[in-house]
């Protein structure tokens, strides 16, 4: 077909379903006569098999457009936006974005999700695994699978190729957070925390973490709006908990005393444990662990998160009901009916448990103080190594880092 403009097109006339139709095979000379004849023959084969070649060509173009637009990267962004809209913690969104964009993005980001094969994903995961990050590789496989399942549910992918990769990666090496679970050593630790001469809010945060055995992030981000001093309850918003559900913590007399003391330090702050630099900012993520390091405890001895393990271990050894301890720790009960029942039925027992735990910590400190009365600082660790030195005062020390 030669148009008035001078352009020359290859057209093929055919009939399908009793109707006269036309199929274009491109422009000459970009499409040669030989190529046009091959395209014509392919169209005739489709007709012979009962397929409309014109409709088939349109479907192929649509599929190509969809494949280009529905890349893994675009669906990953859709997934990240979805969990953010559903109220996922900022840290969770940030970590997932790092894994999907920074780790998986260079390999999979621009690829049409429907075209990605299990082999491509395996190469990516094994490269991360060889670098020693086994747990990261395992989590990335799970997260990539989540993106694929979103693609499947929205008709942009046919299957989840990560399902075939189960068992392909080496099991990660489990590394538990360091914790002091020996009662004598814990008493020594608590005495050293009480004597800490650094930023007072930081000392109070450590004391409060020990008394409530809440997650450090929940303690750092706590606000006075969550605290009911009259009712002796700390109501942690579900958006701040690991399991994304509200968690109420009964407050012992000792925990209330810590809160009243810290309130005098920054009375106008909305945060319970504000940073040294600003009442509008919480303590930094590593503030409590950094304080433990300055006290002489290495990362292999104790962490702020270790108070949870200490409480769980000691309370179980002392015969408290495991279900009540798990509820106090805020661990997620998988059965929804049982979860609702436990939350209501264990409350009075949890009040008793939290007060018993606070009294236990006081007793451990008294026992330590009695045994170390008149003993020099270097030797008063009672079972802990003697390398710990007297804590420097705020005036003579280098001071806390700005982030603390």
Q: Contact at 8 Å (CB) between 25 and 11? A: yes
In a 13 Å sphere around the CA of 204, the CA atoms on its Cβ side amount to: 24
Residue 376: φ, ψ to 5° = -65, 160
Let me know if 368 is a catalytic residue. Answer: no
> What residue has token string 């060889």?
130
- Active-site position among 341, 366, 389, 401: 341
The 227-228 sheet, strands edge to edge: 227-228, 233-236, 247-250
- Kindly report each contact of residues 10-15 with a partner whose C-beta sits within 8 Å and lies 24 or more positions away, as own/partner: 10/36, 10/39, 12/39, 12/40, 12/43, 14/43, 14/44, 14/47, 14/53
Let me know if 341 is a catalytic residue. Answer: yes
Beta bridge partners of 249: 234
Total residues found in the chain within this entry: 404
Q: Contact at 8 Å (CB) between 382 and 185? A: yes
Question: What would the two tokens of residue 326 be?
Answer: 């798990």
- Active-site position among 25, 141, 203, 215: 215
Q: Which helix (H) or strand (E) holds 250?
A: strand 247-250
- Active-site position among 331, 338, 366, 401: 331
Let me know if 331 is a catalytic residue. Answer: yes
- Active-site position among 220, 247, 308, 368: 308
Let me know if 305 is a catalytic residue. Answer: yes
Concatenated DSSP letters for 23-74?
A: EEEEEETTS-HHHHHHHHHHHHHHHHTT--HHHHHHHHHHHHHHHHHSBHHH
In order of 7, 20, 177, 287, 313, the CA distances from 303 in angstroms are: 76, 79, 7, 11, 15
- Active-site position among 141, 240, 305, 368: 305
d(C-alpha 79, C-alpha 114), whole Å: 16
Question: What would the two tokens of residue 214 be?
Answer: 């809440």
- Active-site position among 111, 242, 244, 343: 242
Question: What's the burial of 302, exposed, middle or buried (CB within 10 Å: 0-12/13-18/19+)?
Answer: buried
Residues taking part in catalysis: 215, 242, 305, 308, 331, 341
């Amino acid at each position: 077909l030669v148009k008035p403009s001078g352009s020359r097109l290859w057209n093929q006339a055919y009939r399908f379903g009793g109707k006269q139709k036309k199929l274009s095979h491109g422009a000459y000379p970009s499409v040669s006569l030989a190529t046009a004849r091959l395209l014509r023959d392919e169209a005739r084969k489709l007709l012979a098999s009962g397929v409309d070649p014109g409709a088939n060509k349109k479907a192929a173009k649509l599929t190509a457009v969809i494949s280009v637009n529905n890349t893994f990267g675009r669906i990953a962004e859709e997934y990240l936006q979805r969990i953010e809209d559903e109220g996922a913690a900022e840290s969770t969104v940030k970590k997932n974005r790092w894994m999907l964009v920074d780790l998986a993005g260079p390999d999979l980001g621009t690829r049409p999700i429907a075209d990605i094969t299990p082999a491509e994903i395996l190469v990516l995961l094994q490269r991360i695994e060889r670098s020693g990050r086994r747990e990261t590789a395992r989590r990335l496989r799970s997260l990539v699978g989540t993106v694929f399942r979103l693609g499947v549910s929205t008709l942009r992918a046919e299957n989840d190729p990560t399902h075939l990769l189960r068992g392909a990666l080496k099991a990660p090496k489990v590394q538990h957070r360091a914790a002091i679970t020996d009662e004598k050593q814990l008493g020594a630790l608590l005495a050293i925390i009480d004597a800490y001469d650094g930023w007072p809010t930081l000392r109070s945060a450590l004391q409060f973490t020990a008394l409530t055995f809440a997650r450090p992030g929940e303690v750092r981000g706590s606000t006075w709006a969550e605290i009911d001093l009259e009712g002796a309850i700390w109501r942690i918003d579900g958006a701040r908990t690991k399991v994304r559900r509200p968690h109420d913590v009964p407050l012992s007399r000792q925990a209330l005393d810590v809160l009243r003391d810290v309130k005098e330090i920054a009375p106008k702050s909305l945060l319970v444990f504000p940073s040294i630099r600003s009442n509008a900012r919480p303590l930094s993520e590593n503030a409590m662990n950094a304080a433990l390091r300055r006290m002489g405890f290495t990362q292999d001895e104790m962490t702020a998160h270790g108070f949870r393990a200490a409480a769980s271990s000691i309370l179980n050894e002392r015969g408290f009901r495991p279900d009540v301890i798990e509820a106090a720790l805020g661990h997620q009960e998988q059965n929804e009916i049982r979860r609702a029942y436990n939350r209501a039925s264990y409350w009075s027992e949890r009040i008793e448990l939290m007060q018993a735990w606070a009294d236990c910590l006081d007793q451990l400190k008294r026992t330590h103080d009695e045994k170390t009365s008149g003993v020099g600082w270097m030797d008063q660790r009672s079972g802990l190594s003697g390398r710990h030195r007297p804590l420097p005062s705020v005036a003579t020390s280098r001071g806390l880092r700005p982030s603390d």
